Structure 1
Amino acid sequence: MATDVKVPVLGESITEATLGEWLKQPGDAVDADEPIASLETDKVALEVPAPEAGTLGEHLVAVGDTVEVGAIIAKIEAGGGKAKAAGTDPKKSTEPTDPPTKTADSADAAKERQDDPASSITLSPAVRRLVLEHGVDPSKIKGTGKDGRLTKDDVEQYVKNGAEAPLVEKGTAKGAEVPTTAPAAGGTRNEERVRMTRLRQTVAKRLKEAQDTAALLTTFNDVDMTAVMETRSKYKELFAKKHGVKLGFMGFFAKAACLALKDVPSVNAQIDGDEIVYHDYVDISVAVSAPNGLVVPVIRNAETMSFADVENTIGDFGKRAKDGTLTMADMKGGTFTISNGGVFGSLMSTPIINPPQSAVLGLHRIEQRPVVMPDGSIEARPMMYLALSYDHRLIDGREAVTFLVRIKEAIEDPTRLLIDL
């Protein structure tokens, strides 16, 4: 008797998702609770577990299809896996499911799978495209995703490290051969259409709504990172030994933001209709890089947390984002956002707020620049540009500048973070 595989509850107010990837193929043996498919919601990717052990039957939904909560996407057949799928059912042995004319094609497909190493490993569509594009063997690449699966970063890093990309010979039809000549010196003019993921569609929609609704403005300042860098250098080993996590820059900026938000509460507020909602707590949304794009999990009650708590939370978010195990609850809420484009080499940017929040702090790369000191001398100092994008309907220029000055003061003199000044 077959058991239905249904789309699980996706979270509050989420009624549908997009099938992003099949992790198991028809005929594969599956264990109870083993992931068999990946769903993409507006914010996170979720895995669909097998309701019981058995053999995965036919896929009832294709990759890219939209499915609702409770929809049946596959069935689990009782039995021992691939051996059963090969034809142990007496009824199925007398009634072939495929027309006889497909027998030869099946043999050709099997041969092609042998020639194509990417077909023997479960890969997402994006990863499979990269593997075939570079002509690499995915079995030789160490996967860093969930359950050891390959990510785009894994393939790109493998190629970057010097892996050769041999030309792949494939026939366009049976018996036909394609010359293995290199492309023309001018390059090719190929085009590829790829459907936007649900996450990317949601990001695009929300950012456009922010531009259409909020009166966006960005104010800049710069900060001397000397004191913070010296503090990290002096205490990083002791900090890691005691707390089991590295002392990063984000802990300093998160704590500095908490102080600044206390002094300038409108930056931590939001507009709700004709009312302004002020928060006496600080829930900081932190932009984290994930395989499918940036996500913004929330550090809740950051004003009550220690440096170690902040760094541990951010480290956990980063790991779970990479594994695809962040939940809807991790993303919900947030009163203020910090986005660190500096890790990608950004010198300066104008970040867009994350509605319904009213402001976002953008951090950028640290570089040595000449600075005129109070005594008139010129020194090379490690400087960083700060950018505060905000909703001018709620936050005035004076408040935006004051907020950035508070951040600057706390970073250039970290003692302020200890004495709440």
Structure 2
Amino acid sequence: MAELLRMPEVAAGSTTAVLSDWPVPEGTAFHAGDTIMIVETDKAEVDVEAHADGTLIKALAPSGTEVEVGSPVAVIAAPGEKVGDLDALLADLGVAEPAKTSPAVRREIPGTERTPEVPTPADLTDQPANGRIFSSPLARRLARDAGIDLGAITGTGPGGRIVRDDVNAAIAARIPRPGPAPTPDLSAAPRPAAPAYDAIPHSRIRQAIAGRLTQSKQNAPHFYLRGQVRVGELLTLRQRINADGGVKISVNDLLIKAIAVAHVQVPEMNVVWTADAVRRFRAVDVSVAIATGAGLVTPVLRNVESLSVSAVSAQVRAFSEQARSGALRQGDLEGGSITISNLGMYGVEEFSAIINPPQAAILAVGSATRTPVVTEDGGLEAADVMTLTLSADHRPVDGALAARWFAALRDSIEKPVRLIV
């Protein structure tokens, strides 16, 4: 029996979401597990999968629009089910008007530039059933503006659908013919000078970052612990592991494992603040700050206390690739009690970071530098030293607790053999 597909609540507490695309065109059958709708949240794209086989009868909300959670976005039917009068069916299903939508500010996907796909009435007009060319609204608009026949383009999207990249490739393949140079109009009035800046509209991810970090500084009383740790043995351990020719690990991978060891030794730090209680976790989940062209994302490594260093390294690399290609899912970004943010590779010696809410702490990591230090007998020696700065939320974490955790972290870093046993 035909039924309505509604906009899901893909992110906890969200009231709207952007309907990014319909991978399954109208009138097309799909199978259980197929992606039938792609939805954008503030930080990720989410594939909405079909729970059973069926057919997409009618899309009630176009691609590129912001839709209220719970609003009907499509009519789907069982496999082989015949639908007669669509208007009568919509009335029977209680749909008196289209889903409440508005043009959306699209999230920037790393490595691409997305344009809101708000189709015009002409875009929504189906082509004849025989020889129909399936294409996204944005692809149709780009092809129309460039004067390119969609029939001459081979689609690479789902089911052979023509997408934006296909049209861009066709545009790039054309060789423009040079025309005569325009004759300057000397009588034209002088034009006003161009502004001395470029106005870059806020992307959804940039707006989300701004909102979350502003909320964090306003609501979470930050305090900071700063200290230097010797990393000579840690760097030697990394060199020995990488010399085996297997998985290459980074200093950051070892630091993530050291955070997990410190959390196990001082479990009172593995917490978040909620309105009703301090929530202490049994497993250690650590967020890793990853910079992309669109902004900062913080995917979460789960159960780090039980992972080997090589497994931590493999997961971080996978997250980095997904972050830069825009393939992270909302679930990858939720959870954890602490984040690690490392700017040492940029030559930054120390900095203070803002807590990623609702977490209780963030560890800012500077670069390792060769520094003269005083030995126990009062002499001087050169040592590899790194400055770490812990930002903590004073609501669930007191200063003495943070200091005990920092001491456990230092001990794990300066005696790194415990990270691999």
Would the TM-score normalized by the shorter structure come out above 0.5? yes
Name the CA shift for 1:193/1:62 in 2 (closer, same or farther; >3 Å). farther
Q: Does 1:191 align with 2:203?
A: no
Give, as a single letter, the amino acid of the residue that structure 2 aligns with 1:272. Answer: T
**What is the CA–CA distance in structure 2 between the aligned matches of 1:177 and 1:52, rounded to whole Å?**
63
1:21-60 map, 5 Å = 39-47=39-47
The corresponding residue for 2:267 is 265
**Contact 1:271–1:394 under 8 Å retained in 2:** yes
Q: % of aligned pairs identical?
A: 26
Name the CA shift for 1:378/1:139 in 2 (closer, same or farther; >3 Å). farther
**What is the CA–CA distance in structure 2 between the aligned matches of 1:177 and 1:108, rounded to whole Å?**
29
User: Over residues 167-199 of structure 1, what are the superposed CA-to-partner deviations in whole Å (9 max), with x where a residue is unaligned?
Assistant: xx99xxxx98899xxxxxx995143241431x3
User: Over residues 352-411 of structure 1, what are the superposed CA-to-partner deviations in whole Å (9 max), with x where a residue is unaligned?
Assistant: 1122221111112233333334451242x3332111000123323233233223222221
The corresponding residue for 1:17 is 17
Name the CA shift for 1:177/1:384 in 2 (closer, same or farther; >3 Å). farther
Deviation of the 1:228 alpha carbon: 1.4
**Contact 2:60–2:73 under 8 Å retained in 1:** no
**What is the CA–CA distance in structure 1 between the aligned matches of 2:231 and 2:362, rounded to whole Å?**
20
Name the CA shift for 1:332/1:61 in 2 (closer, same or farther; >3 Å). same
The corresponding residue for 1:337 is 339
**What is the CA–CA distance in structure 1 between the aligned matches of 2:63 and 2:144, rounded to whole Å?**
23
The corresponding residue for 1:387 is 389
Question: Which one of 403, 406, 409 corresponds to residue 404 of structure 1?
Answer: 406
Q: What TM-score, normalized by structure 1, do the two folds share?
A: 0.63
The corresponding residue for 1:227 is 233
DSSP 3-state at the match of 2:164 = coil
**What is the CA–CA distance in structure 2 between the aligned matches of 1:59 and 1:191, rounded to whole Å?**
37
More deviation, 409-418/212-221: 409-418
User: Over residues 75-105 of structure 1, what are the superposed CA-to-partner deviations in whole Å (9 max), with x where a residue is unaligned?
Assistant: 9xxxxxx9x9776879x9xxxxxxxxxxxxx
Deviation of the 1:201 alpha carbon: 2.8
Q: Does 1:208 align with 2:194?
A: no
Bigger fraction of residues in helix: 1
The corresponding residue for 1:217 is 223
The corresponding residue for 1:98 is none
Deviation of the 1:110 alpha carbon: 3.6
Deviation of the 1:209 alpha carbon: 1.9
**What is the CA–CA distance in structure 2 between the aligned matches of 1:37 and 1:373, rounded to whole Å?**
63
DSSP 3-state at the match of 1:382 = strand
**What is the CA–CA distance in structure 2 between the aligned matches of 1:345 and 1:138, rounded to whole Å?**
42
Q: Does 1:122 align with 2:123?
A: no
Deviation of the 1:347 alpha carbon: 2.7
Give, as a single letter, the amino acid of the residue that structure 2 aligns with 1:333. Answer: G
**Contact 2:4–2:72 under 8 Å retained in 1:** no
1:307-326 map, 5 Å = 307-326=309-328
DSSP 3-state at the match of 2:282 = coil
**Contact 1:23–1:122 under 8 Å retained in 2:** no
Name the CA shift for 1:137/1:195 in 2 (closer, same or farther; >3 Å). farther
Deviation of the 1:41 alpha carbon: 0.6
Give, as a single letter, the amino acid of the residue that structure 2 aligns with 1:212. Answer: Q
Name the CA shift for 1:88/1:401 in 2 (closer, same or farther; >3 Å). closer
**What is the CA–CA distance in structure 2 between the aligned matches of 1:109 and 1:278, rounded to whole Å?**
56
Q: What TM-score, normalized by structure 2, do the two folds share?
A: 0.63
DSSP 3-state at the match of 2:199 = coil
**Contact 1:60–1:74 under 8 Å retained in 2:** no
Question: Which one of 274, 294, 297 corresponds to residue 296 of structure 2?
Answer: 294
Deviation of the 1:227 alpha carbon: 1.2
Deviation of the 1:219 alpha carbon: 1.3
Deviation of the 1:55 alpha carbon: 12
DSSP 3-state at the match of 1:356 = coil
DSSP 3-state at the match of 1:281 = coil
Give, as a single letter, the amino acid of the residue that structure 1 aligns with 2:201. Answer: V
**Contact 1:281–1:301 under 8 Å retained in 2:** yes
Name the CA shift for 1:246/1:56 in 2 (closer, same or farther; >3 Å). farther
1:351-370 map, 5 Å = 351-370=353-372
**What is the CA–CA distance in structure 2 between the aligned matches of 1:321 and 1:405, rounded to whole Å?**
32
Number of residues of Structure 1 aligned to a counterpart in Structure 2: 346
User: Over residues 186-221 of structure 1, what are the superposed CA-to-partner deviations in whole Å (9 max), with x where a residue is unaligned?
Assistant: 995143241431x33333222222212221011111
Q: Does 1:377 align with 2:419?
A: no
DSSP 3-state at the match of 2:367 = coil
- Gaps of at least 5 residues in structure 2 are 77-122, 133-141, 151-161, 186-192
**What is the CA–CA distance in structure 1 between the aligned matches of 2:394 and 2:250, rounded to whole Å?**
31
DSSP 3-state at the match of 1:353 = coil
**What is the CA–CA distance in structure 1 between the aligned matches of 2:164 and 2:196, rounded to whole Å?**
30
**What is the CA–CA distance in structure 2 between the aligned matches of 1:295 and 1:74, rounded to whole Å?**
35
**What is the CA–CA distance in structure 2 between the aligned matches of 1:247 and 1:400, rounded to whole Å?**
28
**Contact 1:121–1:139 under 8 Å retained in 2:** no
